[in-house]
Amino acid sequence: MIENYVAYLKYLQERLDRFFASQKEYIACKKGCAKCCKNAQFPYSLIEFKYLLQGFLTLDKETQDKVEANISKIYQDKKLFKGEKFLYDCPFLIDEACCVYDYRGIVCRSFGLITAARENKNAKIPFCAFIGLNYSNVLDDEKKKLSGEKVEKLGLKEEPLGFNIGYDFLTNKDFERGFNFSFGDKKALIDWFDKDLTQQN
Ligand code: SF4
Ligand code: SF4
């Protein structure tokens, strides 16, 4: 079944690559920028998590040890956390780079674009627009909204677009049926590590 998930990932990645290319005037993503790998929850379904673990098994021992140490630290921090929403840096972020890049999950691939408004959800600009990264060249800093005026001033033909890239949409049943696999349960990445990483299957 994981092969069918990988086929879906290939299909998704091709689409995302096209989306990112269409927005290139607004995109600041580059190697070494890892702000979206920090201070978040990282939703992962079971199949995404299993594939991520396949990536973990390809790592050298030293990197595996670093990841395991990160997980252990985050897991302990989470146990002591008393607030509502526990945020953490992804344990697979090693030296400011993803050590399982080819195996990363869906939210890791889609983050950085504007999520289009859908049903009762408003369009969502990625947080990094507000710290000088994606879309910040067309952001109205006061109104915290995109500025048509700035788009015009920059002489860009197309205004930024929003895409159907919400996590719920990208992990919906139509994709499960179309590619013949199941996402399984979904939870924050750290919550999958309720036992030793080497014991996972
Ligand atoms: S989405 Fe934003 S934070 Fe993430 S790599 Fe791109 S520019 Fe950096
Ligand atoms: S799996 Fe990789 S891309 Fe995804 S949040 Fe972690 S470090 Fe970033």
> Digits of tens for pLDDT over the chain (201 positions)?
899 999 999 999 999 999 999 999 999 999 999 999 999 999 999 999 999 999 999 999 999 999 999 999 999 999 999 999 999 999 999 999 999 999 999 999 999 999 999 877 889 999 999 999 999 999 998 888 898 889 988 888 778 999 999 999 999 999 999 999 999 999 999 999 976 554 555
* All structural domains of the chain with their residue ranges: 2-193
Q: In this predicted structure, what is the pLDDT of residue 148? A: 87
Read off the pTM: 0.93
Calculate the dihedral angle through the C-alpha atoms of 166, 109, 188, 177, rounding to the nearest 10 degrees: 60
Q: Which atom of ligand 2 is nearest to the CA of 91?
A: 6
Closest ligand to C-alpha of residue 90 is 2
Q: Whose CA is nearest to atom 4 of ligand 2?
A: 108
Q: In this predicted structure, what is the pLDDT of residue 35? A: 97
Q: Which of 36, 93, 94 to mutate to test the pocket of ligand 2 (most atoms within 8 A of CB)?
A: 93
**How far is ligand 1, taken at its centre, from the CA of residue 32, in Å?**
9
